[in-house]
Structure 1
Amino acid sequence: MPVAAAVALWHRAHLYKALACVVLALIALQYLLSGVLDRRSIETIFTINTTRYADHAYRSHPHGLIIYGLGVSPTYPPSTLNITSTAQLTVPALRDINNATKQDVNATRIAPVSSPNTTDPSIPQLCPLIPPNLVGPLTVNKNPPEVLKMEKELTGVETGGRGWPSHCTPRHRVAIIIPFRDRPQHLQTLLYNLHPMLLRQQISYQIFIVEQEGTGLFNRAMLMNVGYVEALKEQKFDCFIFHDVDLLPEDDRNLYTCPEQPRHMSVAIDKFKYRLPYTDLFGGVSAMSREQFRLVNGFSNVFWGWGGEDDDMANRIKSQNLHISRYPANIARYKMLLHKREKANPRRYEVLKTGKNRFPTDGLTDLKYQLIEKKKPKLYTWLLVRLTPPQPS
């Protein structure tokens, strides 16, 4: 064989070897990365994009969900859940993150829960990341039965408006805070629609109705501060949902849990033609973790009468370098019950403008109230409170 041909053959053989090495390296890299992505996807709490579920077909395909968004997923000691132990959950990787929001980059991880015997079927495991019994769009019922009949129908609800899954350990402890006065029919309608949805979401929850005593100007924000404080006397909730009594959820995939960032829940309301009125809106239904609410010093106490307190909270959130997160509008849908408009606060814009100066001193830090009465009927925990206006500093 000529020398030139032998040299060419030698170079060709080494080129093939080099290409084979590159291919093997790429395969190994893909294998390693797929393992990382699987672990990350298992740890990500979901927000579901409903574009795949425009019709009823999604009910037959519970695993065809698109995953994006995140949530805080605490674990609880067995003593707080009336169980003996918990077991680590194993679920298939959720790979479809094409619609991931920028929140996902810093998604909160789920702390593993250990068990001395994970093969014991009597030990409740963590509830699935995706609640299996969600139905999606809901038929809102604006004509609830009488209270006694409601109590009989809602068999999964315990005294004080508490609920939790019976066959798994809930990942979230949630307090639902509802500021209230003079709307018993609205409250009855909300409870009738809300309880079944929360039970399907497999969270541990308790509904608190915080009623303002007297006939003076209503202070919705201050009542929510009271609800936060009083709820923590019951147990150490991780998440707080602040909920107007006249808003009925239309989709149970709108999870009543807390994400990494404060969440505005009532994105699309029928009264506003299911459109968000403005970007910084935080009113209606909103979710904050215990730490976030403490960080922003709660709601302001100085908004007497209708309006302003939610915009002030949005400013508080931004002042702490947090941002408002939202589910898609085709999930975060609500119907609003008709009611007479509350008397507006004529000074709300003035108070809102000067709010930044009061953030550290106006809120949980100067909250004063008197708990007049507390009762626990089956469907809720009722708090009657007398509010004390904060004194000028």
Structure 2
Amino acid sequence: MFLSRMENHCFLLFVFVFQVIFILILYRGGPSHVFRGFLESPQVVDYSKPHDVYTNLSLFTRAPNEDAMPYCSAQSPVLVGPLTITFRVLPSERMIMKRNPFVQSGGHYKPPHCFPRYKSAILVPYRNQEKYLRHLLYYIHPFLQRQQLSYTVYLIQQVGTGSFNRAKLLNVGVREAMKDEEWDCLVLHDIDLVPENDYNLYICDEYYPKHMASAMDKFQYTIHLAGMKIVQTSPHLGRYRVMDYNEETESQEPWRRPPSQHNTRKTWKADGMNTLQFRLLSRTKHPLYTKITVDIGYVPPFS
């Protein structure tokens, strides 16, 4: 009789604990969100001891038989955490290509040793920012490769005399990228931002948009205007370095500090996918990226 009562109490306790765990999972956005949180928990967060961005890439070698390749592990075994980021030396395109031998034409990559679990498109709005582009390519390619992603880097270039319209270029990038692949994730990336921790996974949340640069106060105005709920990468992972040249360089490159700025608050609804209008001028595959050049028409300056 005593054992029976104990068994009943244990069973009720088990049911109670199970219900608590189930409610917690629902509250956090589903089981995939909870488990992904574990994947995004780094073992190393000491930013005083960063690693070179190309650490461990030499461990990836082409599988002798693609038909027998396994799926990539749920968490990449070669992630290192904090990265050394510096913009003192401008890398050449040839050097970046040499250090990323598995990147294919158009800036496409897939792991040579396993089948990727995630496919991400990296969309970068662009306008005459060659120095920033080379720094970004130098860091972003090894960063993504260590995460064992299949990815393509898209450069969406605006031409014409109108003010720079980042939102509309990103919408163009989304439409053009989806012609190539059923991407799991579309990463909207500024050209002057470089991630500092490779545990900041460039994969999307299952339900909500994901704000990766959580240690910076950027892009919040777009999310606020659209009224969307977002998932935010934890601040100790979502750290980014901002490229910032000296005043002499900025004065020589007026695109960095334009005299007029596109007024997103007035035109964001018209910049959406349903009303998107642009003229595709060219689509070319470069060794490290796919460039999509567009004329988006006249863009009114901020007033």
Give the TM-score range, shorter chain: 0.7 to 0.9
Within the alignment, does 1:335 sit opposite 2:282 as a pair?
no
Q: What is the RMSD computed on CA atoms of the aligned residues?
A: 3.6
Aligned residue for 2:40? 48
Task: Tell me if 1:345 matches 2:261.
Answer: yes
Cα displacement (A) at 1:148: 1.1
Which amino acid in 1 is paired with 2:288? L
Match of 1:19 in 2: 5
Q: Does 1:384 align with 2:293?
A: yes
Pair 52,180 (structure 1): closer, same or farther in 2 beyond 3 Å: closer
Q: Which residue of 1 aligns with 2:231?
A: 325
How many Å apart are 1:348 and its aligned residue? Answer: 5.0
Query: 1:213 maps to which residue?
Result: 159
Q: Which has the higher contact order (CA 8 A, sep 6+)?
A: 2
3-state SS of the aligned residue for 2:294? strand
For 1:214 and 1:201, the matched residues in 2 are separated by: 37
Shift of 1:147: 1.1
Question: What TM-score results when the alignment is normalised by the length of structure 2?
Answer: 0.76
Identify unmatched segments of 5+ residues in structure 1.
1-13, 60-81, 85-121, 270-275, 284-310
The C-alpha deviation readout for 1:353-375, integer Å capped at 9, x for no partner, is xx6xxx4x651112111121221
Equivalent in the alignment of 1:272? none
Summarize deviations over 1:117-151 as a string: whole Å, max 9, x none: xxxxx2422x2222211110000132243211211
How many residues matched?
269
Seen in structure 2, the aligned counterparts of structure 1 residues 346 and 247 have a Cα distance that, compared at 3 Å, is closer
Question: What is the match of residue 84 of structure 2?
Answer: 139
Residue-by-residue CA offset, 1:84-104 (whole Å, 9 max, x unaligned):
5xxxxxxxxxxxxxxxxxxxx
Is it true that 1:222 corresponds to 2:179 in the alignment?
Answer: no
TM-score (ref. length: structure 1): 0.60
Letter in structure 2 aligned against 1:22: N
Q: How does 1:179-258 map to 2 (within 5 A)?
A: 179-258=125-204
Alignment partner of 1:369 out of 269, 278, 283: 278
Equivalent AA in structure 2 for residue 175 of structure 1: A
Name the aligned partner's letter for residue 45 of structure 1. R
In structure 2, the residue corresponding to 1:44 is in which secondary structure?
helix
CA distance in 1 between partners of 2:103 and 2:289 (Å): 9
Alpha-carbon contact 2:44-2:81 (below 8 Å) kept:
no
Residues 1:388 and 1:163: Cα distance change in structure 2 (over 3 Å) = same
Superimposed CA distance per residue, residues 54-79 of structure 1 (whole angstroms, 9 cap, x where no aligned partner): 379999xxxxxxxxxxxxxxxxxxxx
Give the aligned partner of residue 69 of structure 1.
none
- The runs of 4+ residues in structure 1 deviating greater than 6 Å are 30-33, 55-59
Tell me the secondary structure at the aligned position of residue 178 of structure 2.
helix
Q: Greater Rg, structure 1 or structure 2?
A: 1
- Offset of residue 183 of structure 1: 0.9
